[in-house]
Every structure is written in C-alpha cells, then in structure tokens.
Structure 1
Amino acid sequence: MNQNTRIRKYFIWLFWIAVWQAANMLIHNNIIFVGPVDMVKALLELVRDSSFWASVFNSFAKISIGFLGAFILSILLGCLAYAVPLVKDLLEPMMMLIKSVPVASFVILALIWIGSHNLAVFTSFLVVVPMIYVSTLSGLEHTDRKLLEMAMVFRMPLLKQVRYIYIPAVLPYLISGCRTALGMSWKSGVAAEVIGIPEGSIGEQLYYSKLYLDTAGLFAWTFVIIIASAVFERLFLYLLGKVKH
C-alpha cells in the first residue's frame, strides 16, 4: 500500500467519524445514540478497571478455543470426506443442519446441556465447523489432477504429496473460509454470552450496558469486540499464511 492510498484511507475514516459525531449532535440524546467522543470517554473509564481486562481475556480465550478446535476438527473431517466418499455423504446432512439452525437455538440447547460457562466455546465451535469443512473439501477436490498423476508416476511419498501438492491447493480456500469464519466465531460467541450471561465475559457486560441504558458503554464494548476480533484474525491469518513457506 503506497502512501497516497494510506492517506486516502485515513481521510475516509475521518469522514465517517465526523458523520458519526454529526449524527450524535443532531439526535442529541445519549441514551439513543452516542458519538465517538462519548464512546472514547466510556472506554477510558473501562480500561482502568481490572474486571475489564478479565472479561476481555475470558471471552477472547473461550472464543479462540472454540475456533481452533473447530479448525482442527474440520480439516480432519474434510480430509476424511475427500478420502472416503461415504463419509462425505454421511456428513453432508449434518453440515447443512448446523448451517441452517439459528445460533439462538444452539445457545438455548447449550444452556440446557453444558450451562453458561463454556457457552462461547460451544457456539463458536459449531458455527465454524461447516465453514472450514467446506473450504477444506473444496480445496482438496480442486487439486490439480495432473500433479497427482505425476506424483503417482514418480511414486512420490504421501507426506511429500501433502506438502507440495495438497497444502498449496487447499490453502487459498482455507484462508478465504477463515476470513468469514473468524468474524462469525466472534459474532456468535459474544451473542451466546449475551443470551447466557456467563460471569466475567464481554457478553455479560453488553447485557448490563443494555439493562442500565449505558449506550456509551455499549458502544465502547462493541469497539473492544471489533478490535479483539481484528487482532485475532490478523494473527491467525498471518500464521496460516506462513504454512506455505
């Protein structure tokens, strides 16, 4: 990204922040809508409290565990479905069911089965599994057949086939799937926390912000979610991109 493009992006962000502040001044009701200045003030108050960092760490850890568990399992299932067509046929209805059922239904079932403590882990796990599974399977099914035939002719060991043929073929699909799955894991995980209200979580803080009509606090916590999600996404995709080197 060149300097002109970077400066242009900064001005675009400043423009929308100015629009946001103008909308706040026009509405002139901080219970209904707050501006960036009020949000920053609320955020500065939050970061001084040790419980803020505990809530962020707690939710970050649980959503990350749910995502990483789903990521590993989905890749294994995708490879198994590619190798054994019967497994693919057996998994297809289950993956369609998981994609179709609303998150709220999973959350209510999870509250009955496991309680609220690990709700974010369970929900983010379920939401991510079909996305990564489909990406893995699509990448494997679109592997260059000529390269596979060449590998068979030269009797290339399976591990080398995986490293030099399958991984380069799957990685673009996996990265694309992860871009969507990472965001969805955070959205579903925090939504589950808002419904289940587990103690010491971001979802609990969002719920109380709504309960006490603390709109500035609600905006501040939403900003925290966006930043935490973006940091996790950048870090994970960076590490995933290193796989091909």
Structure 2
Amino acid sequence: MKRSTITDKRKAGKGFTNRKAKTGKSDAGFRIWAIAFWLIVWQLTSMALGQEILLVSPVSVLLRLGALVRTLPFWHAVFFSFVRIVGGFLLAILAGVLFAALSFCFSWFRELLHPVMAVVKATPVASFIILCLVWIPSRGLSVFISFLMVLPIIYTNVLEGIHHTDRQLLEMAEIFRVRGIRRMRYIYFSQVMPHFRSACGVSLGLCWKSGIAAEVIGMPDGSIGDMLYQAKIYLDTPDLFAWTFVIILVSVLFGKVFMKLLDMTIHAVETR
C-alpha cells in the first residue's frame, strides 16, 4: 500500500513537472509572438508616418546597430558605461549590507542614517545629478549616482530581513551556543537572502536608468549617455533608438547573469 502510494506521488510529481515544462514553453512562445506583434505595429506605424525623424522603423534601427557594432567607439562607449554603472551597483551592495548590519547592531547608527536614506529616496535623480556635477567630475558621475540610487534599496531590504529573522532560531542558537560566523551562515544568511535577492532584482534596472541619466546630463566623453545626447542634438533618430536598444540589451543581460550567479552562490552556501 505504501509503495503504491509513493509510486502515485512520484507519477503525480512527474506529471506536474511536465505540465510546468509545457507551460514554460508556451509562455516563451507567447512572449515571442507578443514581441513580433509589437515590432510589426512599430514598422507599420513608421511606414504610415513616412518620416523617420519622428519614428524610425525597426529595420533602420537594426541596420544602424549593425553599423555601430563594427566600430571601435561603440565598444569603448559600452565598456566605459558598463564598468562605471556596474561598479556603482556593486559598491552599493557592499555598503548597503554593511550599513544594515551596523544599524542592526547599533541603534544610534540606524537613527543617524535614517534621514539620509529618506532624503535619497525622496529626491529626484536629476536633482542629485545636477548637484553632484559641482563636486564630482563627469567621468565618475555615473558611478556615484548608481551607487546612491541603489544604496537605500539594498540597505532597507537587508535591514528588514535581519529584523524579521525567526526568533525561535535565534533562541535555539543561544541554547546551543552558535555564535559568530556560524550564526551568520546558518541563520541570518537563509533568513536575509530572500530580501537581499529581491532588492538586487529591483536595483538592477534602476542603476542603469540612473547611471545613463547621469551620463546624458554630465556628458562624459566616450560614454553611452554622451552618444545619446549627440543623437538628440543632431536629430539622429536611428542612433537614438539603436543606443537605447543597446542600453536595454546590456542591462537585461547583466541582470540575468548577475541573478544567475547570485542563485548559484546561495545554493552553494546552503548545500555546503
């Protein structure tokens, strides 16, 4: 009886897995269909307007992108912006986790940071960019702006995760005298990591938006933001759309790679 029950459960599990796989495939197919639909709408609208200065066609954007990819300044601009924006993002992660840990340990530190985090979250990105241009060179502006926009998200979510740690687990750790690195690894890590992962997912898009905005206003030579600004000045709509597509593509690819590496790290730590 028990064996048959276990067999039935396994079959049910396999059936659920198969349905899940089929659903995943259908979702992917639906996304491709939806993207194709909107590309066709874009193409038809561009053809109806007949003025590429107003709305360039996706074919023209693809051709322009193909021409840009074959030039050295294109890769220099992508590398320039990528290093700075990702650098600001990673620095914000380190600072956010550190500040959250210190805020949990010391109430005076939490109270000290509270008004700063509130101001950063409430102030428009453009205001920070213009203010920071007074003190920071334009080449380093995107690093600082990305850092500043991501920091409150990481800090708030990690601190919330620490505060919501299961009290029963902490009491058990006290009884068995689990302290230091072992407590952080076996208790706080598993409790805080979902909050941290969620914060990273939200911050990935924000760091690119704010970083590129900083480059558009600061106009550092050889950056994607500078290329966007030049396209706007000369009404070069194909370039404008091509560089926008590059930003979206790089942002999405980096986000997927980063989240994949994060999930692998979480799995490695939990199973060690």
Aligned-pair identity in percent equals: 46
Within 2, Cα distance between the matches of 1:5 and 1:70? 34
Q: Pairwise mapping of residues 114-129 of structure 1 onto structure 2 (< 5 A)?
A: 114-129=136-151
Aligned to 1:164, which of 186, 190, 193?
A: 186
Moved more, 154-163 or 202-211: 154-163
Q: Pairwise mapping of residues 51-200 of structure 1 onto structure 2 (< 5 A)?
A: 51-200=73-222
Moved more, 169-178 or 185-194: 169-178
- TM-score w.r.t. the length of structure 2 is 0.88
Q: Partner of 2:63 in structure 1?
A: 41
Within 1, Cα distance between the matches of 2:204 and 2:131? 23
Within 2, Cα distance between the matches of 1:173 and 1:157? 22
How much does 1:244 deviate?
A: 2.1
How much does 1:144 deviate?
A: 0.7
Q: Is the 8 A contact 1:110 1:116 kept in 2?
A: no
Q: Partner of 1:28 in structure 2?
A: 50
Q: Which amino acid is 1:124 matched to?
A: S
Q: Pairwise mapping of residues 230-241 of structure 1 onto structure 2 (< 5 A)?
A: 230-241=252-263
Within 2, Cα distance between the matches of 1:191 and 1:18? 29
Moved more, 26-35 or 117-126: 26-35
Q: CA RMSD in A?
A: 1.1
Within 2, Cα distance between the matches of 1:239 and 1:84? 32
- Report the structure number with the largest CA radius of gyration: 2
Within 2, Cα distance between the matches of 1:183 and 1:225? 10
Residue 229 (str. 1) matches residue 251 (str. 2): yes
Q: Deviations over 1:11-67 (max 9, x none)?
A: 111111111112212222100111211110110111111100000000000001111
- TM-score w.r.t. the length of structure 1 is 0.97
How much does 1:243 deviate?
A: 2.8
